Structure 1
Amino acid sequence: MRIVDARVIVTCPGRNFVTLKIVTDEGVTGVGDATLNGRELAVAAYLTEHVVPLLVGRDPARIEDTWQYLYKGAYWRRGPVTMSAIAAVDTALWDIKGKVAGLPVYQLLGGRCREGVTVYGHANAETTDEVLVEIARYVDLGYRAVRVQTGVPGLAKTYGVSGDRMFYEPADAAIPTEAAWSTEKYLTHVPNVFAKVRAEFGPGLKLLHDVHHRLTPIEAGRLGKALEPFALTWMEDPVPAELQEGFRLLRQHTTTPIAVGEVFNTIWDCQQLITEQLIDYIRTTVVHAGGISHLRRIYDLAALYHVRSGSHGATDLSPVCMAAALHVDLSIPNFGLQEYMRHTPETDEVFPHAYTFDRGYLDPGDAPGLGVDIDEELAGQYPYRPASLPVNRLEDGTMHSW
């Protein structure tokens, strides 16, 4: 069996997605997600101009060799564009291998380690009272874990709060919009929110919160300490992760569990955080961390240091990526949680899939391969639309982390 074609498909059924479809001479196809939110066309160009020509004629069964070929064979390594492109190839090859074997991918990864994948939803609203209503809605849908985000009094707009509560999408304009940020107002507000949430929903519901890289280590330590009485499952992305030594300082000041890694691209980005046990959950994902093959390396390393998985699963990851993540989630021993932001009906139509949600769990299904595909004709009806993530400034106008 040989690869005879590889197509890069860019579509926008509500938001932009980049998909790679690999075709073999025996008619078996595989799909991989290559979406990089706000930089989709960069990955599409990298695939089209630099990767696809290397694939034609290769044996699709040689997944590891192909990964090493694309990674080590390029002088310029790592980075989100390169690793998202490699991820698309790797994921598509696993899809093909599963179809050839007649097995779902998770069986090729060692089989089930659990009956279902626990997922969390996003409850967000402008006010605390409104977010209590949103949390109740997720509980009614069967969710066992909920991420809680609210507006901050005194700020016109806050990350994580959207007009559409179920289909949150932060990329909101062709040219980035700007919002004002105040760390002081945020730190004062958030503990009060979680005090009311715990009082309303009791100790059983898993609660999470995303800081989105906006604090210094000592500020994050203050927040984590203030949130300890409410027993969060994790505090996500408390500080910018470029300075990983900052997590040592943060660790000294709070026992609130820490999750980080959705912007990481390789095992080397998180090696120190894992081996020094500075985090509790690693949030790398299939598409941005080099595919199923490389994500398994990260999670295998994490398992040695009591770090669990918590894969990113926002709407900028297509159903192809969600399906791939579920196969990994189901098969690893150190699974923690899986983010699950539901896609729009238009997206689900473009990407028909076998995974299902029931009582707070997702299951990838037992279709051979990933159990997901792309309807190319329907995808062609949704052309690319430029969309950028917003930027943040302090109230005095200083640029701040997004």
Structure 2
Amino acid sequence: MIIKDVRVITCCPGRNFVTLKIITEDGTYGIGDATVNGRELAVETYLREHVAPCLIGRNAHDIEDIWQYLYRGVYWRRGPINMAAVAAVDMALWDIKGKVAGMPVYQLLGGKSRQSVMTYAHANGDTIENTLDMMEGFVKQGFKAIRLQCAVPGMDGTYGILGEKKDYFEMQNSRPLPPEQPWSTTKYLNNIEGLFRAARERFGDEIELMHDVHSRLTPIEAARLGKMLEPYNLFFLEDASIAENQENYKLIRQHTTIPLALGETYNTIWDCKDLIQNQWIDYIRTAATHAGGITGLRRISDFAAIYNVRTAPHGAPDLSPICFAAQAHVDIWAPNFGIQEFVGFGTETSDEVFSYDHSIKKGMIQVSDTPGLGVDFNEEAAADYPYNRSYLPVSRLEDGTLWHW
């Protein structure tokens, strides 16, 4: 299975995606996701100019050796651009191996640990009532777990809410420069408890609830929030504080028993090593696209299992359906899987470019038995949606200080 051709395609069917296609001499091909939101062309160039030439002539079956070659061999290890490139190659090679074996990727990992993959949906609203109305819609669809985000009164825009744009896909449309959002910790803490109190009053205790702070709080502020929300029995509190200094979570853990989730921006096992082995978190949220693909995610999962930490991979819309497929295979295999973030496999527009056999039923992903990843990419359709520069927002405190978005 000698690699003959490597193609890198960046397209924007509603938002930007970077897709890698590896083709072998017999025509078998595999695809991978390399999207780094807001820096797509950086990883595209890295793949095309630096990685692709190193793959031609190699055996596509040598997944581990190629992974090590791209990780150890560059000397400049880790980092979001490098690891997204490694991830795309890794996914594509697993896709090829599954197709050649005539088996879905999860079988190559060791088979199923469960029959389907539990997900959680996003309910975002500009008021508590609107947020809970959206939650009700997901409950009716059969979701058993829902993340709640609500605009903060007196603030123009909040994480998950951007002015009149309530849909996250709409938030991410192209704009000339990064939009700036104000942030007030005091206003946020004064209002967030009311959202979860109202949710429990309206829906009872059967639905699992999550919340994403998006790293806006200092560790001691996050500890206060955790204690505040303990009575509402959250499934987890996500990104309660920035964790470049992993010991931040040691402080938070000392003050609250609320389960903590972290890791969507991490790129390797080393970013979360201390958090996991010290059991400062309960869920690790690294994504296949950003942490070295299926191989990288499997390593993190196995390490986390030793310390009773469960997986909850990132599932934002800046990850393509290829990433969702790769994660679904890991999710259904991983013995310590917890839950999968889910905003949909794609949109009506992106479905013109990506096709997939996976489905969602009552909040559970039904993983396809199609050989490989069970997802495909239409290059001709992608050509109709050229790259369109866009950025994630920037956050500032009300006095103008740049803050964590």
CA distance in 2, matches of 1:165, 1:337: 22
Once the two structures are superposed, residues 44-84 of structure 1 have per-residue CA deviations (whole angstroms, 9 ceiling, x without a partner) of 00000000000000000000000000111102110000000
Secondary structure class of the residue paired with 1:262: coil
Tell me the equivalent position of 1:378: 381
2:377 maps to amino acid: I
Instruction: Give the conservation status (yes or no) of the 8 Å contact 1:125–1:165.
Output: no
Map 1:225-374 → 2, pairs under 5 A = 225-342=227-344, 343-374=346-377
2:332 maps to amino acid: L
Tell me the equivalent position of 2:63: 63
- Following superposition, the deviation at residue 165 of structure 1 comes to 3.7
- Following superposition, the deviation at residue 360 of structure 1 comes to 1.1
Tell me the equivalent position of 2:176: 174
Tell me the equivalent position of 1:390: 393
Once the two structures are superposed, residues 91-130 of structure 1 have per-residue CA deviations (whole angstroms, 9 ceiling, x without a partner) of 0000000000000000000101001000111100000011
CA distance in 2, matches of 1:11, 1:21: 13
1:94 is the counterpart of 2:97 = no
1:139 is the counterpart of 2:139 = yes
Secondary structure class of the residue paired with 2:8: strand
1:28 is the counterpart of 2:28 = yes
1:191 is the counterpart of 2:189 = no
Instruction: Give the conservation status (yes or no) of the 8 Å contact 2:14–2:169.
Output: no
CA distance in 1, matches of 2:181, 2:166: 19
- Output the TM-score relative to the length of structure 2: 0.98
Secondary structure class of the residue paired with 2:371: coil
Once the two structures are superposed, residues 140-162 of structure 1 have per-residue CA deviations (whole angstroms, 9 ceiling, x without a partner) of 11111101000001101001125
CA distance in 1, matches of 2:316, 2:172: 10
CA distance in 2, matches of 1:287, 1:172: 22
Instruction: Give the conservation status (yes or no) of the 8 Å contact 1:33–1:88.
Output: yes
* Residue range with higher mean Cα deviation, 165-174 or 79-88: 165-174
Secondary structure class of the residue paired with 2:376: coil
Q: Rate the CA distance shift 1:248–1:151 in 2: closer, same or farther, 3 A.
A: same
Once the two structures are superposed, residues 198-223 of structure 1 have per-residue CA deviations (whole angstroms, 9 ceiling, x without a partner) of 11111010100000011011000000
CA distance in 2, matches of 1:118, 1:85: 28
- Following superposition, the deviation at residue 167 of structure 1 comes to 4.2
Tell me the equivalent position of 2:46: 46
Instruction: Give the conservation status (yes or no) of the 8 Å contact 1:173–1:389.
Output: no
- Following superposition, the deviation at residue 349 of structure 1 comes to 2.1
Tell me the equivalent position of 2:7: 7
CA distance in 2, matches of 1:137, 1:334: 29
Secondary structure class of the residue paired with 2:19: strand
- Following superposition, the deviation at residue 172 of structure 1 comes to 5.3
Instruction: Give the conservation status (yes or no) of the 8 Å contact 2:17–2:318.
Output: yes
- Following superposition, the deviation at residue 229 of structure 1 comes to 0.4
Provide structure 2 residue ranges, at least 5 long, that are not aligned to the other structure: none
CA distance in 1, matches of 2:404, 2:156: 17
Map 1:112-151 → 2, pairs under 5 A = 112-151=112-151
CA distance in 2, matches of 1:72, 1:6: 21
1:262 maps to amino acid: E
CA distance in 2, matches of 1:68, 1:174: 38
Provide structure 1 residue ranges, at least 5 long, that are not aligned to the other structure: none
- Following superposition, the deviation at residue 179 of structure 1 comes to 1.2
CA distance in 1, matches of 2:169, 2:17: 15
CA distance in 2, matches of 1:76, 1:210: 32
- Following superposition, the deviation at residue 234 of structure 1 comes to 0.5
* Residue range with higher mean Cα deviation, 164-173 or 344-353: 164-173
Instruction: Give the conservation status (yes or no) of the 8 Å contact 1:329–1:335.
Output: yes
Instruction: Give the conservation status (yes or no) of the 8 Å contact 2:125–2:161.
Output: yes
Once the two structures are superposed, residues 265-291 of structure 1 have per-residue CA deviations (whole angstroms, 9 ceiling, x without a partner) of 000000000000000000001000001
RMSD, aligned α-carbons: 1.0
- Following superposition, the deviation at residue 294 of structure 1 comes to 1.0
Instruction: Give the conservation status (yes or no) of the 8 Å contact 2:15–2:169.
Output: no
Once the two structures are superposed, residues 191-248 of structure 1 have per-residue CA deviations (whole angstroms, 9 ceiling, x without a partner) of 1110000111110101000000110110000000000000000100011110111111
1:72 is the counterpart of 2:75 = no
Tell me the equivalent position of 2:105: 105
- Following superposition, the deviation at residue 174 of structure 1 comes to 3.0
CA distance in 1, matches of 2:74, 2:173: 31
Instruction: Give the conservation status (yes or no) of the 8 Å contact 2:174–2:389.
Output: no
Work out the number of aligned pairs and report it.
402
CA distance in 2, matches of 1:304, 1:311: 18
- Following superposition, the deviation at residue 185 of structure 1 comes to 0.5
